[in-house]
């Protein structure tokens, strides 16, 4: 964790310039559509892996929030984020270090460019479900496994030339399974090119009020004979 934190503290020095002008990262543009359709002036919003705040920029300037909280392991990323968006509440650490007071507090949780670096995805989704308000939404990106793209197969990650931060890739069926187990249901899943030909997915999932009934229904449907 300390080596990863040190890397992102260093990356923060050039992060905004790199995202906009070198990498030309497209995920914030795709994310904006979801956020502006979901966020309202009464929404409590959590941005996981907030970095310097690219994910929350649109809703911040539109003032579509009651509160915005960001969590990141990099103190330098958070310092730069606070300078751009002074009204948000920032927490140094990860999603598991947030206080229990936030249980069922957030109407919208965002996670852009971080899921592929989380080793225990089922535990992560369970935590998000605990933090979400009833009928709340989780919107996140992830990097899929693509068998014909060498740079999207190996575990070394898309930052392998700059750091040893690992990358954990998943297929859509696996993502949906983990979400359902955590009481979350996929509402939308779209593929897009994030940068330099790298394929990502943007997923919107909604918290299920009675997840056991949904899982029982899905199990019954999968066991039913084909007509």
What does the pLDDT read at residue 188?
96
What does the pLDDT read at residue 38?
95
Quote helix, strand, coil % in the chain, to nearest 5. Answer: 40, 25, 35
What does the pLDDT read at residue 155?
61
- Which segments of the chain are extended strands (E)? 44-48, 67-72, 89-92, 106-111, 132-142, 184-195, 198-207
What does the pLDDT read at residue 216?
46
What does the pLDDT read at residue 215?
47
What does the pLDDT read at residue 95?
96
- At residue 12's C-alpha, the angle toward residues 119 and 38, to 5°, is 65
Q: Mark the ranges of the chain whose per-residue pLDDT is less than 70.
A: 1, 150-164, 210-227
For the chain, the domains span 2-223
Length reported for the chain: 227
Give the orientation angle of helix 211-223 with respect to helix 172-181, to 10 degrees: 130
Q: Mind listing the pLDDT tens digit for each residue in 114-149?
A: 999 999 999 999 999 999 999 899 999 999 988 777
Q: What is the CATH number of domain 2-223?
A: 3.40.50.150
């Amino acid at each position: 964790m300390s080596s990863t934190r040190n890397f992102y503290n260093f990356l923060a020095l050039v992060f905004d310039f790199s995202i906009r002008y070198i990498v030309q990262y497209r995920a914030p543009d795709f994310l904006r559509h979801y956020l502006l359709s979901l966020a309202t002036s009464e929404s409590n919003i959590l941005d996981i892996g907030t970095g310097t705040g690219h994910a929350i920029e649109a809703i911040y300037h539109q003032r579509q929030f009651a509160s915005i909280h960001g969590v990141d392991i990099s103190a330098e990323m958070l310092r730069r984020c606070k300078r751009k968006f002074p009204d948000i509440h920032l927490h140094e650490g990860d999603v598991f270090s947030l206080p229990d007071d936030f249980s069922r507090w957030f109407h919208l949780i965002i996670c852009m460019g971080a899921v592929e670096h989380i080793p225990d995805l089922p535990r992560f989704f369970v935590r998000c479900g605990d933090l979400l308000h009833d009928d709340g939404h989780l919107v996140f990106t992830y990097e899929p496994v693509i068998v014909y793209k060498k740079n999207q197969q190996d575990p070394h990650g898309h930052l392998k030339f700059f750091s040893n931060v690992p990358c954990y890739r998943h297929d859509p069926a696996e993502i949906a399974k983990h979400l359902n187990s955590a009481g979350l249901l996929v509402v939308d899943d779209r593929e897009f090119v994030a940068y330099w030909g790298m394929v990502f997915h943007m997923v919107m999932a909604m918290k299920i009020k009675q997840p056991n009934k949904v899982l029982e229904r899905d199990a019954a449907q999968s066991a039913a004979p084909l007509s």
